[in-house]
Amino acid sequence: MALLFVSAVEDPEPYRQEFIRLLPGEDFRIWPEAGDRAEVEFLLVWRPPRGAMKGFPNLKAILNLGAGVDYVLADPDLPREVPLVRLVDTGLRDGMVEFVLHAVLHFHRQFHRYREFQQRKSWTKVPQVEAANRRIGILGFGHLGQAAARHLLALGFPVAGWSRTRKQVPGARSFAGADELGAFLGQSDILVCLAPLTNETEGIVNARTLAQLPKGSYLINAGRGGLAVEADVLAALSTGQLAGAALDVFRREPLPPESPFWTHPNVIVTPHIAAITLVGPAAREAADNIRRLRAGLAPNGLVDKAQGY
């Protein structure tokens, strides 16, 4: 049986080298050279071309080489009966935690304002707020959100998380469901968006929800571009409802040159780098899941397709 690497954007060679080492003797194939499709047991995918995942009669699982699976789930030819597994490796987690901590501290310590003062050659100090008085809200309180929460709590920030179901994180408040979203937003001085993109979370950061944040709050989106209505984010920045935003993901990527986010004085733009997939950890996790599936065990990171993550 064979593994087939399917991606139009990712270089397959580093993965091939890792799998040769991790699963010696494995038949590693690279799309579009699938060979006999009946021999393909697993698909290793990252942003696979539409239709590339169909027509494999003996497929045991599709292993996504990233945490987000919205792109895969949007393919109308996705074989719905085949298990879909997402990446939950520690490299992704640690990268996301680093990004969130940096962005939170950037706004908390007002570095965006000091940069402005530097450009004006102005020796100006800004009153500092204690961490204990800067409330952090994490929209999306799953694996990544909880990891970020633990580090923020260690720095003395009050942390709350919102998700579809209630979570238990020592020291953090947990809000759940649509009925508690408003209360969660009302106590988020810095809103960190890490939720998956689903039918329920599409456009969840919009004019109505942004208005529920405290005046002068900050937005950090490192989850999915589709979580935010970008025109509403710009409007909130223009009125001062948002004092600043750090945006790593956008509805259209690469971000077009004409986007006003590029030149907005209160916006930090990064090119979807908050949590980068590293080949070594990703290949190790995928290889481990292949061993688990062959042994009849449940894989780590099994996706609930109905929920979208």
- Residues forming the active site: 224, 272
CA distance readout (Å), 202 to 6, 70, 226, 239: 27, 11, 6, 24
Report yes or no: 74 and 125 within 8 Å, Cβ to Cβ. Answer: no
- Looking only at the bridges linking them, the beta strands covering 159-163 and 242-247 are unpaired
Q: What is the DSSP code string of 224-247?
A: -GGGB-HHHHHHHHHHTSEEEEEE
Closest CA to 267 of 291, 242, 284: 242
d(CA 152, CA 100): 9
- Which of 138, 189, 188, 191 lies closest to 167 in space, CA to CA? 138
